[in-house]
Amino acid sequence: MSETLSATVERFLDHLKVEKDYSPQTLIRYRHDLTRLVEYAGARNIAEWNALRSDAVRSFIAGEHRAGIAPRTLQARLSACRSLFKFLLRGGELKHDPAAGVRAPKAPRKLPQVLDVDEMGRLVEIPTDGAEAKRDRAILELLYSSGLRISELTGLKWRDLDLADASVRVTGKGRKTRIVPVGAKALEALRVLRDLEQVTSEDEPVFRGRNGAAIGAATVRTRMKAWAKAQGIERRVYPHLLRHSFASHLLESSGDLRAVQELLGHADIATTQIYTHLDFQHLAKVYDAAHPRARRRKNER
């Protein structure tokens, strides 16, 4: 008796977990996406992968789009399907690629929000008159100093930090490790925190919650929102906003797109190129404010 479609998906997910060391979050997303494909195939009496054709996969994606699934989600869903099909093709279990020629709808390009330098300075320079405030200051400084993702920050242990070398080792998406510089202000805040915590083991988390365990992402978001309000910043502030601000400010100052890519840990430079659009927006604002012809045109509107 041939293996069911669901059983094949489970075998594929085991492969990703054991052989590829995929993160639990990625496996959860893959399971959801591939379950949707299995449900679609089952509703059309498709019982084996070799019976799945490109027109069926195209119809699956189109149906999900009509149901209101966002283009970016559909792109990720189709990517999960492609990964499964490649796995089966390599094992000789598929004779053709059912996703060949299939494309997900294009997502509108949305530029990330950033804080300007003055706003960023107000946010990180919070008063440090208590233990939690000292911890929060170190969190804010490090997020902006090194462009970390929130998952990278909450997973940090003291052994990942080299305060003497002014660097931090983080493990990002795809379990890829990179070493990132740490700025002087962040180093100062981290040294204050280390003295306060009286660290005895390098395996201790850098940022602790009230229970002594590593601080959670939700707590970081809540604290950051409260500090932004206290510092008079009217915009919505969240951890990834500091990463966007880090990238935009660094690119604006250096113009080195490849270096920013490495610091952010982007696998594809196209992901980093979005910040060049932000830089152009800044230049366009300067032009509109300063150029005589631009001012005249604006006044004529």
Per-residue pLDDT tens digits for 57-79? 999 999 999 999 999 899 999 99
pLDDT confidence of residue 300 = 47
Cα-trace Rg, the chain: 24
pLDDT confidence of residue 301 = 46
Average pLDDT, the chain: 89
The reported pTM is: 0.62
Q: How far apart are CA 87 and CA 143, in angstroms?
A: 37
Asked if 134 contacts 186 with a C-beta cutoff of 8 angstroms, the reply is no
Q: Is 266 a catalytic residue?
A: yes
Domains within the chain, CATH numbers bracketed: 5-90 (1.10.150.130), 117-240 (1.10.443.10)
Residue of 77, 134, 137, 149 marked catalytic: 149
Q: Is 173 a catalytic residue?
A: yes
pLDDT confidence of residue 175 = 80
pLDDT confidence of residue 297 = 45
Q: Which two tokens stand for residue 84?
A: 């499964």
Residue of 173, 194, 221, 282 marked catalytic: 173
Q: Is 229 a catalytic residue?
A: no
Q: Is 30 a catalytic residue?
A: no
pLDDT confidence of residue 279 = 67
pLDDT confidence of residue 153 = 96
> Tell me: the pLDDT tens digits for 271-287?
777 777 766 666 667 66
Q: Identify the segments of the chain with pLDDT beneath 50.
A: 1, 296-301
Q: Is 291 a catalytic residue?
A: no
* Residue 163: closest CA among 108, 202, 213: 202
Residue of 15, 157, 194, 240 marked catalytic: 240
Residue of 134, 137, 243, 249 marked catalytic: 243
pLDDT confidence of residue 174 = 76
pLDDT confidence of residue 298 = 43
> Tell me: the pLDDT tens digits for 17-39?
999 888 888 999 999 999 999 99
